[in-house]
Amino acid sequence: MAVDEAILTAVSARDQPPTLRLYAWSPPCLSLGYAQKSTDVDFERAAALGWEVVRRPTGGRAILHADELTYSVALPADDPLAGGGILDSYRRLSRALITGLEHLGAQVTAERRAARTRETGAACFEALSHYEITSGGRKLIGSAQTRRRGGVLQHGSLPLAGDIARICDALAYPNATAREAAKAGVRARAATLEQALGGRAVSWESAAEAMVAGFVESFEIDFIPAPLSAAEVEHAERLASEVYRHVERKGAAQMEGSHTNG
């Protein structure tokens, strides 16, 4: 999360070009939305599972980052891809994700919903909202966007495999019955890429290549792999120490606006 924010700062200042970042997590980590209550997490259970906990600079609800591909896109606010309202840019960026998923053989859609699903749970994948990317009616990517200080950050999670409902093992519920009910709800409303492909497993590397192809084809851009700059590394290390180690406080970003599917 600190690296995503450091990239956003550099891109907003025009020190770096618009940036697509694709990454994974080790060890598994539970991320909370910008304004989500930390009491949604059962920290003892998370620690027993070996999962860490962090707060995102974007909104939404909890996501378990394990066996997944995470993406982030950082743009200056005046970039054509960020044009229009928050929902407009979210839908535009989702086109590239859809193209990438189609390269992998997934049949997906992203449509404006007649009404947003009522948000009752603590987990991101329990609910759908406008232009959510789904497969067979089940959520496949959870994303969120924030705009701040002249820049736009959108990032999200594509679960590749595993039990989509295991996040509930580290969330706070009044009893075991409520936990199992939450798991059933997540499994009914969300899917992994492996499930969307009828049981065919996809490696992280293959998923990443498909996503890059999706962005290149959708926006007719050149993709130039590059490491973080020294300034981005320094900024990320400072943010990691001063901001993102403190789950109880809100993320560093003071949001000017957000669209949350997480």
Which of the pair, 130 or 254, is modelled with greater confidence? 130
Look up residue 65 and give its two tokens.
């980052």
pLDDT tops 90 at residue 187: yes
pLDDT, mean of residues 229-254: 80
pLDDT tops 80 at residue 114: no
Active-site residue, from 20, 66, 81, 124: 124
- pLDDT computed for residue 121 by the predictor: 76
3-state secondary structure of 217: helix
pLDDT tops 60 at residue 262: no
- pLDDT computed for residue 120 by the predictor: 61
Look up residue 123 and give its two tokens.
């987990």
Q: Which of 2-6, 203-207, 208-212, 240-244 has the lowest mean pLDDT?
A: 240-244
How far CA 122 is from CA of 28, 61, 101, 186, in Å, comes to 18, 6, 27, 11
pLDDT tops 80 at residue 174: yes
Whether 120 contacts 126, CB under 8 Å = yes
Whether 107 contacts 96, CB under 8 Å = no
pLDDT tops 80 at residue 38: yes
Q: Which of 82-96, 189-203, 238-252 has the lowest mean pLDDT?
A: 238-252
> How large a percentage of the chain has pLDDT more than 90?
76
pLDDT, mean of residues 23-49: 95
- pLDDT computed for residue 261 by the predictor: 46
Q: Which residue has the tokens 């949604």?
A: 40
pLDDT, mean of residues 8-29: 97
Catalogue the E-assigned strands of 61-179.
63-65, 68-76, 109-111, 132-135, 138-148, 151-159
* pLDDT bracket for residue 130 (50, 70, 90): low
pLDDT tops 90 at residue 124: no
* Predicted structure pTM score: 0.89
Q: Report the distance separating Cα 15 and Cα 185, nearest Å.
A: 44
pLDDT tops 90 at residue 118: no
pLDDT tops 60 at residue 3: yes
- pLDDT computed for residue 26 by the predictor: 94
pLDDT, mean of residues 209-230: 96
- pLDDT computed for residue 241 by the predictor: 93
Q: Report the distance separating Cα 64 and Cα 52, nearest Å.
A: 10
Look up residue 223 and give its two tokens.
């993709």
Decide if domain 2-260 falls under CATH 3.30.10.20: no
pLDDT tops 70 at residue 255: no
Beta bridge mates, 52: 29
Look up residue 155 and give its two tokens.
């990032």
DSSP 92: H
Name the phi and psi angles at 140, rounded to 5: -115, -30
Long-range contacts of 103-106 (CB under 8 A, 24+ apart): 103/210, 103/213, 103/214, 104/193, 104/197, 104/202, 104/206, 104/207, 104/210, 105/197, 105/200, 106/135, 106/140, 106/193, 106/196, 106/197
3-state secondary structure of 174: coil
- pLDDT computed for residue 223 by the predictor: 92
> How large a percentage of the chain has pLDDT more than 70?
88
- pLDDT computed for residue 37 by the predictor: 93
pLDDT tops 80 at residue 235: yes
Whether 204 contacts 69, CB under 8 Å = yes
Whether 235 contacts 13, CB under 8 Å = no
- pLDDT computed for residue 260 by the predictor: 47
Q: Could you confirm whether 29 is annotated as catalytic?
A: no
